[in-house]
Structure 1
C-alpha cells in the first residue's frame, strides 16, 4: 500500500522527497478522476451540442472595465490562503507533520502567503488591463453547456465531498460523537452521499442556465460510472478501509504475504490476536481460489493491506515508523473488484450511449447498473449496519436498492410518456 506519493517514489524510484508526504494517494486519484471525467464530460456535452439537443444561452457581459479594488482583494486573499497553507505545507518538514492537522490549524508560511497573494492580484490586474477599453461596453455572448464544464466540475467537487462526508458522519455517528474533529478528515467518504448532494446542486445549476436536465443526466451517466471506478483506485492503493470481510481460506505472515489456509488457521489467529479482534468483527467467509481462476494471484481473493493509510491491523515485522500495520487475516479486496466493475460498466454505458432516443433513459440504466453493483458488493464488504424495518442492512444497501427501483420506474415512465415512435432505441 502507498498512503501517499512519498512511498510510491521511494519504492519505484528510490527517491525520498519529503514534500510528497503531503500528496495523499486517495486524494491524488480522486483529483485525477475529476480531471479525466471533466474531459469526458466536455466531449459529451460538445457532442450533444452538435446533435442539436443542447443549445447555447445568450448572456450579457460588460467588457472593458479595469479591475476593481474588490476583485484585486479577492484574488489577493485567495492567493494568500493558498500560499500560506499549501506552499507552507510543502516547505515544512514533511515527515514530522500531519497534513490534515496542519491544514485546519493556524500554522502557515506568511512570506509565501503574501508573495502568492500579490502574484494573484497582479495577474488579475494585468488580465483586466489588457481588455480595458476607453469606454466599457455591454456585449451579448453565446454560452454553450460545454463552456460550463469548469463550473460543473467545481460544483460536483464541492457538493460531492460535502455530501460524502455528511453521509459518512451519519453512518458512523458514534465515532463522530467521540471525535468531532474527524469531520475535517478526508478519510471516510460515502460515495452515495456525494452523488445525492452533487446531483441536487447540479439540478439547480442546470435549471438556472437552461440546460435540459434529462439530456444532462444522460451525459453524466457514463461520466459518473467512470468517476466511481477511478476513485476506487485511490481506495485500493491507499488501503483506506473500503475492503471486504475476512476470507478465512487464506492466511498472512508477519512480514506480509498471502498463503492458503484452513478454517482452523483463522480461528487460531482470532485467538492469538485478541487485542485486534476484540474491536473488529469476525464476519468472514471461506472462499478458496477456484480452479478455473488459478491464473490469478492469491491476493486477488484475499489481501492483508500492508502499510495501509489507516494504520489498521497488527505490526509488520521489520518495519519501523508510520504505516507499519497489516491485517492479521486477509480480506476480500472489494475496492479492486469495484475498480474492475466500475470501468467495465463505464465501457458498457459508453458503448450504448448513442442508442437511446428518449432523454433520461440512459441515466435510468446507470441507476440500475450502479445499484446492482453496489448492492451485491455489500454482501462481502465491511460496513456499518443499521436497523431498517426489522432488517439489518447497510446504508449503501438501502440506497442501492432504491436506485435499482428508481431506475426501473424512471425507464417505465419515460417510455410511457414518450410521444415519438414506439421503439425508443435507434436502429444501428
Structure 2
C-alpha cells in the first residue's frame, strides 16, 4: 500500500522525495477522477451543443474596468493562504508536518512566503486588469456555452459532494461522530459516495436552472463522467488502504512478515481470537461469532491478492504490526486478509463506463442515459455490499446497510425514470 506518493516513489522508483509525503494517495486519485470527469463532461456537452440540444446564454459583462480593491484583496488572501499553508507545509521542518491534516488546521505556517505570494497574486491581478483598462469601460454581450461552465460545475460538485459525503458518513457512524464531532467533521477520511452524489446533484440542479442549462441533457452528459470518476476514485481507496474494504476471507491468514497463506478453520479461528479486540471494534459486534467472513480460495490462474488482501502499510494504520517495519508511520497490516472490494469496484466502474460510452449516441430520449446510469450504478453497489464491511440497520427483521438502501432506491428510481421518459415520448394512440 502507498498511503502517500512518497511511499509510492520510494518503492517504485527508489526516489526519496520527502515533499511527496504530503500528497495523500487517495486525494491524488480523487483529483484525477475530477479531471477525468471534467474532460468527459466537456466532450459530451460540446457534442450536444453541436447537435442543437443545448444552447448558450447571452451574458452582459463590463470590460475595461481597473482592478478594484476587492479583486486585489481577494487575490492577496488566496496567495497568502497558498504560501502560508501549502508551500509552508513543504518548507517546514516542524515534526508536526508529519501529519499534514493537523498542520493544515493548525495556526502554523510560513509568514514570509505567505505574504510574498499574496503580494505576487495581488500584483498579477492589478497588472492584468491594468493591461485591459479602457478610458471608458463598456458593456459587451458574450455567449457562454454550457461547456464553458464545466469548471464551475466541477467546483460545485466537489464542494457539495465532499459536504454530502461527510454528512452521510457521520449519519452512518453516529457513535463515532458523537464521541468526537470536531475530528469527524474535519477529517479527510470517512466519505460516503452516495451522500456526495445526492448533495452534488441537488447543487448542480439549482446551478443548471439558474443558467438555463437543460437539466435532462446535462444529466445525460455527466453520467459517463460520474462512472469513470467513481472507477478512478476507487483506485485511490485500493492504493491507500483507507478502510473501505471487504469482509474477511477465512480461507487465508496473514503472516507477521506480510505474506498471505492458505489456512484451515483452526488457523483462521486462532488468528481471529488473537486479534479479537480489533475485530470486535471493526465489525461493531459483541462476539467473534458475529464477525462476517466467507471462505474463497483463488483459482490457480488468479493471484491470491484478488480474493484475499492484507492491505499492508494502510493509511489508517489498522490491524497488527508488520515484522521488521521501521517506518515512523503506516506499519500495520490486516491479520486476516479481506476481499479487496475497491479493486472490484474499479474494474466494474471502467466496464460500466465503457457501456455508457457505447450507449450515448443510441439513447435518443433525454434523461434515459442518466436513468441507465442510476440502474447500473445501483446494481453494482448493491451486490458489492454483500462482501463489504459496513454499518447495518435493523428494519423489520432485515439488516441492510445505508448503501444497500440507497442503491436499491437508485435501481428502482432509474427503472421508473426510464419507463416514464420513454412512454412520455411515445405518440398518443
TM-score range, shorter chain: over 0.9
Aligned to 1:43: 43
Q: CA deviation at 1:272?
A: 2.3
SS at match of 2:298: coil
CA pair 76-65 structure 1, distance change in 2 beyond 3 A: same
**Stretches of structure 2 lacking an aligned partner (at least 5 in a row):** 284-290
SS at match of 2:141: strand
CA pair 65-376 structure 1, distance change in 2 beyond 3 A: same
Q: CA deviation at 1:420?
A: 5.8
Aligned to 1:13: 13
Aligned to 2:81: 81
**Stretches of structure 1 lacking an aligned partner (at least 5 in a row):** 423-428
Whether 1:230 and 2:232 are equivalent positions in the alignment is yes
- The count of corresponding residues between Structure 1 and Structure 2 is 419
Aligned to 1:305: 311
Q: CA deviation at 1:248?
A: 0.5
In the alignment, the residues of structure 2 paired with residue 342 and residue 278 of structure 1 have an alpha-carbon distance, to the nearest angstrom, of: 32
In the alignment, the residues of structure 1 paired with residue 337 and residue 248 of structure 2 have an alpha-carbon distance, to the nearest angstrom, of: 6
Q: CA deviation at 1:89?
A: 0.8
Aligned to 2:294: 285
In the alignment, the residues of structure 1 paired with residue 415 and residue 190 of structure 2 have an alpha-carbon distance, to the nearest angstrom, of: 30
Deviations 1:289-341 (A, max 9, x none): 24xxx221000000000000000000000012210000000000000000000
SS at match of 2:282: coil
Deviations 1:40-76 (A, max 9, x none): 1111111110011011110100101010011101111
Whether 1:172 and 2:173 are equivalent positions in the alignment is yes
Aligned to 1:356: 363
SS at match of 1:391: coil
Pairing of 1:319-358 with structure 2 (within 5 A): 319-320=325-326, 321-358=328-365
TM-score (ref. length: structure 2): 0.95
Pairing of 1:61-210 with structure 2 (within 5 A): 61-93=61-93, 96-97=96-97, 98-180=99-181, 181-210=183-212
> 211-220 or 279-288: which moved more?
279-288
Q: CA deviation at 1:38?
A: 0.8
Query: What's the RMSD between the two structures over aligned residues?
Result: 1.4
Q: Is the CA contact 1:19–1:94 (under 8 Å) kept in the aligned structure 2?
A: no
> 94-103 or 132-141: which moved more?
94-103
Q: Is the CA contact 1:21–1:95 (under 8 Å) kept in the aligned structure 2?
A: no
TM-score (ref. length: structure 1): 0.95
From 380, 388, 392, give the equivalent of 1:373. Answer: 380
Q: Is the CA contact 2:165–2:196 (under 8 Å) kept in the aligned structure 1?
A: yes
Q: Is the CA contact 2:64–2:137 (under 8 Å) kept in the aligned structure 1?
A: yes
In the alignment, the residues of structure 1 paired with residue 101 and residue 410 of structure 2 have an alpha-carbon distance, to the nearest angstrom, of: 34
Q: CA deviation at 1:277?
A: 2.9
Q: Is the CA contact 1:22–1:94 (under 8 Å) kept in the aligned structure 2?
A: no
In the alignment, the residues of structure 2 paired with residue 39 and residue 421 of structure 1 have an alpha-carbon distance, to the nearest angstrom, of: 39
Aligned to 2:286: none
From 393, 414, 426, give the equivalent of 2:421. Answer: 414
